[in-house]
Chain A
Amino acid sequence: MPWYVDITARVGAMLIFLILTVLALVWLERKFAGRIQMRLGPMRTGYQGLLQSLADAVKLLLKEDLRPANADRWAFQMAPFVVFVPIFLIFVTIPFSRELVIRNLDMGLFYIIAVSGLSIVGIVMAGWGSDNKYALLGAVRSAAQMISYELPLVLALLGIAMQASSLNLVTIVEQQRFLPNLFMQPLGFTLFMVAALAELHRSPFDIPVAESEVVGGPFIEYSGIRWGIFYLSEYVNLVAVAALASLVFLGGWEWPLLPPAAWFLVKTFALIMVIMWVRATLPRLRIDQLMDFAWKILLPLAFVNIFIVGLYRLYQWPTWTVSLISLAMAIVAAATVYHFPGGERR
């Protein structure tokens, strides 16, 4: 098989997988949030509303693609794709199992971090191009938030890379055969998940798209399929982050009994459900509290995390000491956070 046929087939399969996953996830989120809110969620379209997201997707495809008269045409129309492509590119190197991967890169982790930082450009384009003050406000919030939270996110992943001495995701997973990194670095996992929530614009960090303040933020002027692509990228990003977390912290496919890819998907979806649960429960932070939180709490903790892992690597401590220190730090962090936002007043 020539290489281009091979790669096209792999990318195509991934695209189809992602679109189907997103359709399922939209349904899942609506059902899950519905149950949390003591209602049923979609029930009418198909059994238990299973076809609801398909119907919504068709509706979005058929809707008029509106563009505000004063919008910056190129920025406005390109933005959804600029957001979607980098997020999709993350999946190029995410291994579902040892063999099931489009292209396993030796610098996989580094590549993912580099690529995922790009989608902010698209959001700023959307905010600027829409010629709408709410969109602009949302885009500026989004830029500030994503840049701030990129740091703890990357530093949390750095701890993993240091421990595994590798940036290759397959290697990182295989090293967790006996002990997932979650138990080695609970602090790192916590930092990663919190920062990931902010990266995803998910509650309680959904400030850039806050429905009750900036009414959808950068996406306010979009309709039809362009809005649909934003929506798609939001969920693909959710899958990407959960997949990454399940690979580097939960040990990916390396568990017995089930087939490898199944374990990977189970772990990924479990994390996604946790993120949905958080969304349905927590109110939203304010932008200044968010920034304080990133720079004053998450970032120092991330440095502490790296420091612990560094000591461990340097002196070859037994594993349990690192776990203990990290767990203690995670608890200290939780206590700090618990007293943090209420304590500080401007």
Chain B
Amino acid sequence: MQRQLDTVDMTLNMGPQHPSTHGVFRMVLTVDGERIVAVEPYIGYLHRGIEKLSETLNYRQVITLMDRADYLANFNNELTYVMAVEKLMRIEVPERAEYIRVILCELNRIASHLMFYGAMGSDAGVFGTAFMYAFQAREKIVAAFESVSGARMMHNFFRVGGVRDDLPRDFGPIMARLIPQLRQSIEDCHNLLGHNEVFIARSKGIGTIGPQEAIDYGLSGPALRACGVAEDLRRSDPYSIYPKLDFRIPVGKDGDCYDRYLLRVEEMRQSLYMVEQALEIIPPGPVMAQVPKVLKPPPGEVYVRTENPRGDLGIYLVSQGGDKPYRVKVRAPSFCNLMALEHLLRDCYIADCVMVLGSLDIVLGEVDR
């Protein structure tokens, strides 16, 4: 008779100081050998109380906090917040400002996706090469941001009613140089990982989720579109100048890590295309609307959502009249996407767990806020 070998599951604590949890995320894995039996995520190591702090600052100062929520998509976060205040105060933003915002946001989306690409490459085990490729491209974008806002990451550039300054005079030539370089970089990056047999073996069929389940879990952004749901707020709930731009919403098929990767690569191409169009038709004019010196929105509440690189970023803003918001609630896409982690990691290996987390592209600054 065969004797059953008695084995015990092992608890493995991954994070918060683990190199591939993308910050200070912590997972308590229960593993049976190399297989994951259960996963329990812990968050909150990067909690800075951004929502509560917002209640103590006036409307202009809150923008700086939004920079720091999702520190890889600063412009996109600023945009959502200033749109919320503008909606509350019914401010019309000059058209040129809208264009500048969209150009910067789309560039920021590329920068953020490049960061995803580099991190994903490192998670898959490329010895720094993918990371360096991505960062060299990202560096050029960040340098362009610096020429616009004076800062590489924490820009504090968008204002309620427009943007702080007009684009620098040499922004045209900068972009004329940057765009072909970026296009080449994106293809280089994709050629390094996307066609690599080992990478495909590691990511295809890993962390799969179906469209209905994805919607049920509240996934958004690339994680949702990778399952085949063509949901993009730039199209389905258009804001700013997106209706004037021509772009395609890429969708995936299987909802696995590889699809999420491919989708982000395609999104980078689309964003680049959008930036090109916007640069062509950007009108001259003022970049700031007439706004009062002290922002005091009327009492009321608004909910504004935009398409962040990571998904559907919503800001719920409540005003009771004063110069400070009564409540700023951020619906962070990373946080909501993380909800599906347990589902995605079902029956995975320990090595897959890193890939799945990487493919969700979470930013802990936004998860914990």
Judge if A316 is at the interface, Cβ distance under 8 Å: no
Q: Contact flags (1/0) for A27-40 with B, using CB distance below 8 Å?
A: 00000010011110
Task: Identify which of residues 121-142 in chain B touch chain A, using a CB-to-CB cut-off of 8 Å.
Answer: 121-129, 132-133, 136
User: Is there an interface contact between B34 and A283, defined as CB atoms closer than 8 Å?
Assistant: no
User: How far does the alpha carbon of A33 sit from the alpha carbon of B129 in the complex, in Å?
Assistant: 8
Judge if A280 is at the interface, Cβ distance under 8 Å: yes
User: Is there an interface contact between B354 and A341, defined as CB atoms closer than 8 Å?
Assistant: no
User: Is there an interface contact between B128 and A206, defined as CB atoms closer than 8 Å?
Assistant: no
Judge if B202 is at the interface, Cβ distance under 8 Å: yes
The interface residues of chain A lying within 8 Å CB-to-CB of B352 are 286
Chain A, interface SS category: loop
User: Is there an interface contact between B126 and A281, defined as CB atoms closer than 8 Å?
Assistant: yes
Find B202's partner among A36, A39, A285 (CB 8 Å cutoff): A285
Q: Contact flags (1/0) for A275-287 with B, using CB distance below 8 Å?
A: 0000111111111
Closest Cβ neighbor of A207 among chain B residues: B351
Once A283-B125, A283-B202, A341-B197 are accepted as A-B contacts, the answer to whether A215 and B351 lie under 8 Å apart by CB is no
Interface size classification for chain A: 35 or more
User: Is there an interface contact between B124 and A37, defined as CB atoms closer than 8 Å?
Assistant: no
User: How far does the alpha carbon of A345 sit from the alpha carbon of B205 in the complex, in Å?
Assistant: 7
B184 CB to nearest A CB, Å: 13
Task: Identify which of residues 1-54 in chain A touch chain B, using a CB-to-CB cut-off of 8 Å.
Answer: 33, 36-39
The interface residues of chain A lying within 8 Å CB-to-CB of B13 are 133
Q: Contact flags (1/0) for B309-341 with A, using CB distance below 8 Å?
A: 000000000000000000000000000000000
User: Is there an interface contact between A285 and B12, defined as CB atoms closer than 8 Å?
Assistant: no
Judge if A210 is at the interface, Cβ distance under 8 Å: yes
The interface residues of chain A lying within 8 Å CB-to-CB of B204 are 342, 345
User: How far does the alpha carbon of A208 sit from the alpha carbon of B205 in the complex, in Å?
Assistant: 23
B324 CB to nearest A CB, Å: 43
User: How far does the alpha carbon of A133 sit from the alpha carbon of B12 in the complex, in Å?
Assistant: 7
Once A204-B198, A283-B125 are accepted as A-B contacts, the answer to whether A38 and B133 lie under 8 Å apart by CB is yes
The interface residues of chain B lying within 8 Å CB-to-CB of A33 are 127-129
Find A280's partner among B18, B128, B202 (CB 8 Å cutoff): B128
A186 CB to nearest B CB, Å: 20
User: Is there an interface contact between A210 and B12, defined as CB atoms closer than 8 Å?
Assistant: no
Find B19's partner among A141, A212, A286 (CB 8 Å cutoff): A212
The interface residues of chain A lying within 8 Å CB-to-CB of B205 are 345-346
The interface residues of chain A lying within 8 Å CB-to-CB of B128 are 33, 37, 280
Once A36-B129, A37-B133, A288-B349 are accepted as A-B contacts, the answer to whether A212 and B123 lie under 8 Å apart by CB is yes
Task: Identify which of residues 157-190 in chain B touch chain A, using a CB-to-CB cut-off of 8 Å.
Answer: none
User: Is there an interface contact between A39 and B350, defined as CB atoms closer than 8 Å?
Assistant: no
User: Is there an interface contact between B127 and A280, defined as CB atoms closer than 8 Å?
Assistant: yes
Judge if A170 is at the interface, Cβ distance under 8 Å: no
Judge if A56 is at the interface, Cβ distance under 8 Å: no
Q: Contact flags (1/0) for A252-295 with B, using CB distance below 8 Å?
A: 00000000000000000000000000011111111111000000
Task: Identify which of residues 294-344 in chain A touch chain B, using a CB-to-CB cut-off of 8 Å.
Answer: 338, 341-342
Judge if A240 is at the interface, Cβ distance under 8 Å: no
Judge if B104 is at the interface, Cβ distance under 8 Å: no
Judge if A191 is at the interface, Cβ distance under 8 Å: no
Judge if A137 is at the interface, Cβ distance under 8 Å: yes
Closest 7 CB pairs of A and B: A284-B125, A341-B201, A37-B132, A283-B124, A212-B20, A283-B125, A286-B351
List 4 extra interface pairs beyond A37-B133, A215-B18, CB under 8 A.
A38-B133, A212-B20, A280-B126, A285-B202
A: residues with CB less than 8 A from B are: 33, 36-39, 133-134, 137, 141, 203-204, 206-207, 210-215, 279-289, 338, 341-342, 345-346
